[in-house]
Structure 1
């Protein structure tokens, strides 16, 4: 009997030729640098406002067609559609019209994408695949002691001035006004997905015997969702400036 890697005549099948190129070793060395310590630059960077783990609890019935006899594997991913921070308490910064947010509601929504592989009653049948999206939404509260860095928001202002009638100081002019508008454009806080930990119970809502089939899968899911909440802010830091000391170029001092 011939082996599984030969042809029908019992001769070994020749390997396909592959073109290969030998790589030449290249040298490397550290680039020398010049350090300028003691600087205090102002950076505009994303700052972590809070990092929260939110527990989401959902239940869903997922139809299966064709009907299942056994669940083989379930994989999950989470997709966020909304992470919005709504301020509800403020603290003025000095004498400015900017405020620190000391309390806020965090609104979160999205869906859990599930890929369910299961066996049907077909003899030697292929595994069936069912993709389902389980939506969730809700909110949680972030208080002053939970902020790592306070969000900053500037308040816009509208002013309006009225005038007296030039011919009579007893009546106002209704056709003459002075308007002033101050608009502050704020950096929008935003969310970043860090991790999702799933705890899940899947079962048929009706009892079936060992050879029975079920066409609905009921799922009870507990998901610990970890998020970072960020905002772009200006920060002054202690820093050392690093300048590469490259070989001499074409510019002479």
Structure 2
């Protein structure tokens, strides 16, 4: 008698399905789209020094894992070029403000024989700014306007009316440039301020970090592009006969 399977499972054989290509009709088009556009993709060098306490004390650092978290990527324009005769301008120079922190996960051994590895998490903050003078695509900003008109006194043309004014306000709402984290490259030296013996312990470490941080700076813009519009046409039914 044949051996039975210890854990039988019910299965159903699947039948093959037919495959036919779907007809696609192409035609030229010049659509207007609104998409995020990359303004710049700089690599910023951030240099830090910090001191981290370890409790319990360590005898040996085993591994350090690092990640970057950004709290702020803000573009502040400082130079402009007018677009034609409009009240819109290309930004030709800007200050890029960046702030965030490095999250360090330090794993280390203690003086205890056969002891468990300790884990210390530390957030090392940083902030700074960079001068951007070249852009892959220039950011665009529209300037708001305020106008005020005064009137003469109808009964005495020598004095103005202080109780009558005409106001006009034009507000342009701009797309806010924003940032994305691309890459972080760490160069780091960690050491105890006091040299410890091979079996000795230390409770603080000093770290010197050089971080090459690459970010994207983007702005949502409206673009007119040349494209090929493709229309998928499934098999026609009775109406198309």
- The Cα of 1:252 is off from its aligned counterpart by 5.4
Distance 1:22 1:207, change over 3 A: farther
- Deviation at residue 196 of structure 1 after TM alignment: 0.6
Q: Residue 107 in 1 paired to residue 97 in 2?
A: yes
Match of 1:83 among 48, 52, 73: 73
Q: Deviations over 1:140-165 (max 9, x none)?
A: 0110xx20110000000011000111
Query: After superposition, where does 1:162-177 map in structure 2 within 5 Å?
Result: 162-177=150-165
1:65 aligns with 2:55: yes
1:148 aligns with 2:139: no
Q: Which residue does 2:123 correspond to in 1?
A: 133
**2-structure distance, mates of 1:68, 1:141:** 42
Q: 1:34 aligns with which of 25, 30, 34?
A: 25
- Distance between the aligned counterparts of 2:169 and 2:112, measured in 1? 72
In the alignment of these two chains, the number of paired residues is 236
- 2:46 aligns with 56
2:194 equivalent in structure 1: 206
Selected match of 1:97 from 74, 87, 91: 87
* Corresponding position of 2:3: none
Residues 107-130 of structure 1, C-alpha deviations (whole Å, 9 max, x = no match): 000000011111011111111000
Q: Distance in 2 between matches of 1:247 and 1:171?
A: 81
**Can you list the C-alpha shifts for 1:219-250, whole angstroms capped at 9, x where unaligned?**
11111111111001111111000111112257
Partner of 1:222: 210
Change (3 A) 1:193 1:123: same
Computed over aligned residues only, the root mean square deviation of the Cα atoms, in angstroms, reads: 2.1
For structure 1, which segment, 239-248 or 27-36, has the greater mean C-alpha deviation from structure 2 after superposition?
27-36
Structure 2: any 5+ residue segments left out of the alignment?
1-5
Q: Does residue 248 in structure 1 map to residue 231 in structure 2?
A: no
Deviations 1:185-227 (A, max 9, x none): 0000000111111111111111111111000111111111111
For 1:251 and 1:178, the matched residues in 2 are separated by: 62
